Structure 1
Amino acid sequence: MLRNNTSHTLLVVALPAMLFLGCKKTTDPAVPDNVITDAGGINLTVTYDKTPTTTDLDLYIYRKNTYSAASNPQGATIGPNDNGTVATDIMASAPDEDYTVVVAYKTGTIAKPYTLTFKGISDKKVYTITGSFAASLATATGANFFGSTRGNNVTLTKSGTKFTVSQ
């Protein structure tokens, strides 16, 4: 009889311990999903289906307080001649301010959905935004996508190693 009680006691003690050890907290509930704190910086990636092959989505990043073509910290459009993936990094050493991230439909003939992913370089936390462009936008002209219907804008606020994404 002692043996059964001992087995029962071990089961009662071991089961909750195994369940507790098997649970892993993946995120801090006090930190919103759209906030990534990363000492390495942040990677921005746009992915889309490059069908037909003439389809081209580009990625632009502008310093919001001094918007101009020259305020793009990368110095140029990110995305020419890609295969449906456009990516760049913003390092933790970049100036602290608001950036405007623009996914733009440069060329194509059909409606085009895309995914814009923000990922910490060191800790790998991910925040994702999905969007789409209507086919009629592909035929628009002009190179200024900032704030236009040809570009979907997202604000990225950088403060030290903290990056906050807002739509």
Structure 2
Amino acid sequence: MKRHKILEKPFPIGASVMIKNVESKNSETDPKYEGIFLFTATLKMIKLIDESPDPIYEQDPTEIEYEVQAILNHRGKAPNYEYLVRWKGFDSSWDTWEVPANFDSKEPIKLYWSRLGAANADSNTKRKRAPKSVNKRKVATREERSSKRHARLIDTRRPTTTP
């Protein structure tokens, strides 16, 4: 049983290839393949020369800046809010949750809070509770319960007269 694939047709000259990373793969996060190599010539074995043109990414993707169209929603509690952001030029499938540190300007956040009618967007104050008198439920005393019970008993004992 063959365990290795033997290439019957060699790579065409000028083809871009990648080599499987077998020797230096120490963890799962290491890349499976190395570089993009340009196939230049065939000798007894395949010869690869690294003459790759410009790098794949001309600009680091983390350095690209996007413009905020609007902040749609927020989640979490102050000061750990996350904002649902709609990006300018993108549809709703590209909306993302972002923390305030990811914004270059705090203007979209202030505009969002002003739209919601919040007085102070940067305040870290907690919601004010209603006074205890509002939150307490009135519990009837023993006398009140017995007088209500007594009144019900009297009503049930009275004969009803039909005119």
Q: What is the TM-score with the length of structure 1 in the denominator?
A: 0.24
| Greater gyration radius | 2
Q: What is the TM-score with the length of structure 2 in the denominator?
A: 0.24
Structure number with higher helix proportion: 2
